[in-house]
Homo-oligomer: A and B are copies of this chain.
Amino acid sequence: MDNQVEIHYCTQCRWMLRAAWMGQELLTTFEQELAALTLKPGTGGVFEIRANGKLIWSRKEKGRFPEITELKQLVRDVIAPEKDLGHADKKRT
């Protein structure tokens, strides 16, 4: 179980709290699957999330932050594809 997620955030944009919150959400949801959650301070508006080294979110590319359920699905797809996220997996109308 060596799964790891990395959140690279811009300190100038004051995104630490957001990154730390998302990190804690992931650590809670993937308590059995995640071995490490790393917060990496950056600059220049960076907000990138990697799961096992794979870029799963780039704010510059997407033009927005991920919703938390969306982020959990993206992380799940990489580290625990068989995991059911419960209500977070329901499609919204």
* Interface residues, chain A, with chain B CB atoms under 8 Å away: 11, 16-17, 20, 23-24, 27-28, 31, 34-41
In angstroms, Cα B21 to Cα A65, docked, is 22
Q: List 25 A-B contacts (CB under 8 A).
A: A11-B31, A16-B24, A16-B27, A16-B28, A17-B24, A20-B20, A20-B23, A20-B24, A20-B27, A23-B39, A27-B39, A27-B41, A31-B41, A34-B41, A35-B40, A35-B41, A36-B38, A36-B39, A36-B40, A37-B38, A37-B39, A37-B40, A38-B38, A38-B39, A39-B39
Interchain CA distance A23-B7 in the complex, whole Å: 13
Which chain B residues lie closer than 8 Å to A35 at the CB level? 40-41
Alpha-carbon distance A17/B35, docked complex (angstroms): 16
CB proximity of A77 to chain B, nearest CB, Å: 20
